[in-house]
Amino acid sequence: MNTVLILGGYGAVGREAAAALVGRPGTNVVVAGRNPGKTAPIPGTTTVRVDAADPADLSRALDGADTVLMCAETDNVRVARACVERGIGYVDVTASHPLLTGLQRLDGAAREHGATLALSVGLIPGVTNLLARFCAEHSAADGLFIGALLGSGEAHGPAALAWTLDGLGRLDGSWTMRFPEPYGERTVHRFPFSDQYTLPATLGLGAARTGLCLDSRLLTRLLSVAGRPAVARLLRRPRVRRLLPAALGAVRVGDDGFAVTVRCGEVQASFSGRRQSRATGRMAALLIGRLPGLPAGAHHVEQLVDPAAFLTELAADGFDLDLGDGRCPHRRTRSACRSSAPR
């Protein structure tokens, strides 16, 4: 029996991952968090209260766990170190570059204890990393352009909103990317997603840039204004942060669709669908199923799995994948086989 402990399991991503893992043969899913009574229990899972910030509480929760999925940002490096010391596999969906840098430093200890730390597991970073590897392997170009189009109608938690506000105004630059229909060509604004920092090292490239836009063109224009340093500082004030979630919840513009696309020279690939939290949770669940066969150490997802095979399997769960020529239909998927991909 493989016991998977999901920390932060009551959030949108954790619930999606739990739902995907439940029912898999030989898998026991334990959903953990500080406030289990706030949401309805997930059928087929065990619910426990765990405060990951409390070392003793965390230690008790790790007893009997084979894999930990971290869906919160609560002392991630300390939690991962506790897993490594017990030889427990660890999967993290964080998009924070500083956290990923700290987790990467556990590589030596993970190898020593035979534990696998899987990093950059989600939509951005995650799916974008795999699209980037696919494009880089089929292009002679030395740089990547990554575009993320997110649905402004999808509900997000306060932590995700705070992270977004922190990122506004930190990077300059904008460019156009071609997204799958119905979005088409859109302007994206550079945003500090972690993939652009890690991919040059893992893929041996000169540079990578990631830009963000929203499905609503109006909100994307507002996003570019919000990125100005003076406005970004205003949005980071505590009072504004307290009021903004309610304001955004009262006005729904756009829907829950998303699309990510990567371009390397003349090669482009994309992945799209509905509800980015579902895509992140389903990707994490799919990787957890492969974790026992992956090498020990701290690795980003593009270093662990074949991008075409993994993304094709993920897309079969109700997403759209386009790796080039569209000659390998799979449900709603247009996935080009490696042998026929553009070069």
pLDDT tens digits for 35-79?
A: 777 767 888 999 999 998 899 999 999 999 999 999 988 899 999
Per-residue model confidence (pLDDT) at position 243: 56
Q: In whole angstroms, give the CA distance from residue 18 to residue 258.
A: 21
Identify the segments of the chain with pLDDT beneath 50: 218, 249-251, 253, 326-343
Per-residue model confidence (pLDDT) at position 311: 97
Q: In whole angstroms, give the CA distance from residue 332 to residue 154.
A: 22
Q: How far apart, in Å, do the first and last CA atoms of the chain sit?
A: 43
Per-residue model confidence (pLDDT) at position 338: 34
pTM of this prediction exceeds 0.75: yes
| 31 beta partners | 6, 47
The torsion angle over the Cα atoms of residues 167, 162, 280 and 55, rounded to 10 degrees, is 120
Residue type for 10, please? Y
Per-residue model confidence (pLDDT) at position 10: 86
Segment holding 235, helix H or strand E: helix 229-235
Per-residue model confidence (pLDDT) at position 157: 52
